[in-house]
Amino acid sequence: MDERDRKLLGLMQENADISVNELAERVHLTVSTCSRRIARLEEGGYIKGRVAVLDRVRMGVPTTVFALVKTAHHSDEWIERFRKSIADIPEIVETHRLTGHYDYIIKLVLPSVEHYDTIYKTLVRRVELFDVSASISMETIKSGTAVPLDYVR
């Protein structure tokens, strides 16, 4: 991983639709060399995929809700049931296991605040939860998918 690789990754994080010709020009490489570098970065697992970022308002899901979850269960079986329970709920876009007072945080994107109740009921029918506390995002201050490039070796 050198500075040109980092520059390529940075440019691709900004716009995955950028052409190889433009990338090559911006990092001062030939098109074939640039293409080989991108292939190497993909094969090395640095690039997991390329996606289109959709406008949530136009897609009808402008509301963000964060649900903090406590559970009394920590067995492998319960964790697997929880994973399966959230996997096919498209409104759940992220779930993280936490340290501290809560066990999980779930990020949901919804058409309205009222729709949260539908998702909540679906989830608690599938898996036993001890406590769920939801917070509604009033404003997105920062959002993105880019990761810092300063730490890769």
DSSP 132-151: EEEEE-S--S-------STT
The CA distance from 132 to 110, in Å, is 17
The CA distance from 52 to 10, in Å, is 16
Give the residue-averaged pLDDT of 104-120: 97
66 φ, ψ (degrees, to nearest 5): -110, 125
Percent of the chain having pLDDT more than 70? 100
Give the residue-averaged pLDDT of 27-44: 97
Give the residue-averaged pLDDT of 2-14: 96
Percent of the chain having pLDDT more than 90? 96
pLDDT at 97: 97
Query: Taking 90 as the threshold, does the pLDDT of residue 122 lie above it?
Result: yes
The answer for residues whose C-beta is within 8 angstroms of residue 104's C-beta and 6 or more apart is 68, 69, 71, 82, 95, 96, 97, 98
**What is 63-136's CATH number, 3.30.70.20, 3.60.110.10, 1.10.1040.10, 3.30.70.920?**
3.30.70.920
The ranges assigned to domains in the chain are 3-43, 63-136
Check residues 45 and 153 and name the one with the higher pLDDT: 45
Please give the model's pTM, rounded to 2 decimal places.
0.88
Q: By the 8 A CB rule, do 55 and 92 touch?
A: no
pLDDT tens digits, 39-54? 999 999 999 999 999 9
Q: By the 8 A CB rule, do 8 and 38 touch?
A: yes
The alpha carbon of 1 is separated from its chain's Cα centroid by a whole number of angstroms, namely 24
Query: Taking 90 as the threshold, does the pLDDT of residue 84 lie above it?
Result: yes
Query: Taking 90 as the threshold, does the pLDDT of residue 153 lie above it?
Result: no
Fold for domain 3-43? Arc Repressor Mutant, subunit A (1.10.10)
The dihedral built from the CA positions of residue 34, 36, 38 and 44, taken in this order, carries a sign that is negative
